[in-house]
Amino acid sequence: MLDPKALRSSLVEVKDSLLLRGYDLDINLWEKMESSRKELQGSTEELQSELNTISKEIGIKKSQKEDSSELESKASGLTQKIKKRNKELEAVLKGIEEFLLDIPNLPDKDCPVGKNELDNVEIRTWGDVTKFSFEPKDHQTLGEEIKLLDMAAAAKVAGARFSVLKGDLAKMHRSLTQFMIDVHVENGYEELYVPYIVNKDSLIGTGQLPKFEEDLFKLNDERELYLTSTAEVPVTNLIRNEILESKELPKKWVCHTPSFRSEAGSYGKDTRGIMRQHQFEKVELVQIVEAQDSSDALEALTSDAEMILQQLELPYRVVSLCTGDLGFSSSKTYDLEVWVPSQETYREISSCSNFKEFQARRMKARWKDPSSNKNEFVHSLNGSGLAVGRALLAIMENYQQQDGKIIVPDVLRPYMKKDFL
């Protein structure tokens, strides 16, 4: 959530910044709500002041055993007016909150300006794209030929955009997860296990609600519960409504969960294989830091995610997302894109984002600054380290052999206990 003070003091600048990411702030609506808020708060304060004065007069008259019925009648009328104004003010403040919850984060000044993914800027590449002496196959063909990937069985059980992994392919999926967690724990992250079902407040806190409800799987339950779309939601919300001590920062968490998304806006995209699924798994990295440290933390978190790709020896690139391609809550994002031979292009395998205080303000997550003894909003960051299914398909395609076998990357052999699938 944006700081309402920023809208009150720098409305034009905020609007211009949001336009860079394609969001047109409704200034007229904001000014109308602000005018109502100011009028109601001002008139309520005046009525309360008048009531306080009359209450004192009533007290004096009663102490002097004089008739105070007229004043009491007037006080009763003022009390009713105040209640009415407070109810009206509550409605206006709720409208302002709903307005603010719908506004995306301001892009960082370092973000390249652009409209969509075509304007993203490549920062660096790692490794040479894989070359073959034969025509490479896509991961679905490879998996079906060795009878370890069964899309038809998944469709029978659940429908489109699901998969069944068998035997050594299922084992590689599990091994990838364990390998990623082991590397990140060794690199200073604390491992967490969290609920896969989250409540509405959690999704509001990290920015999935109210704007993106159609992308979520909601349970048919009066408690308004949802299957989590990413471990970012339950992990980051651990600090919701908390005030942390400075010695508790930074927090570095790693967590593996399944993720569930309806992919409502992806009809017709990536319909083959396991590139885009309703159910998939990620190993997620979350950092909670002081404001002054968040820019450096983003670079470090991105490097931590890159480490997995490097150890798997998968060619990839890092791109900085332009203003028009940023996620709703993000101020700055680096995408890691792994090389997919069958598509002859790089595809996203991780998004590493700095949300600054945007999520913290929605979650009321703060830390106590010992230098000022004031409570300040923390900065939150997260990124996948990595998306497990996409890492799996990247290995299948980049490590495939002409005879249909798939080489097991060196770092996975201690987990897999074999050299080939």
Give the active site residue among 88, 263, 313, 348. Answer: 348
Give the active site residue among 174, 240, 276, 317. Answer: 276
d(CA 390, CA 341): 13
Question: Is 389:274 a contact under the CB 8 Å cutoff?
Answer: yes
HEC sequence for the chain: CCCHHHHHHCHHHHHHHHHCCCCCCCHHHHHHHHHHHHHHHHHHHHHHHHHHHHHHHHHHHHHCCCCCHHHHHHHHHHHHHHHHHHHHHHHHHHHHHHHHHCCCCCCCCCCCCCCCHHHCEEEEEECCCCCCCCCCCCHHHHHHHCCCEEHHHHHHHCCCCCCEECHHHHHHHHHHHHHHHHHHHHCCCEEECCCCEEEHHHHHHHCCCCCCHHHCEECCCCCCEEECCCCHHHHHHHHCCCEEEHHHCCEEEEEEEEEECCCCCCCCCCCCCCCCCCEEEEEEEEEEECHHHHHHHHHHHHHHHHHHHHHHCCCEEEEECCHHHCCCCCCEEEEEEEEECCCCEEEEEEEEEEEECHHHHHHCCEEEECCCCEEEECEEEEEEEEEHHHHHHHHHHHCECCCCCEECCHHHHHHHCCCEC
Whether 276 is catalytic? yes
Tokens of 368: 């106590």
Give the active site residue among 21, 161, 261, 366. Answer: 261
How many C-beta atoms surround the C-beta of residue 255 within 10 A?
25
Phi, psi at residue 180, to the nearest 5°? -60, -45
Give the active site residue among 351, 353, 380, 384. Answer: 351
Whether 380 is catalytic? no
Give the active site residue among 342, 353, 390, 397. Answer: 390
Torsion (CA) 132, 133, 135, 139 in degrees, nearest 10: -40
d(CA 46, CA 40): 10
Whether 351 is catalytic? yes
Whether 390 is catalytic? yes
Q: Which residues are catalytic?
A: 261, 276, 348, 351, 390
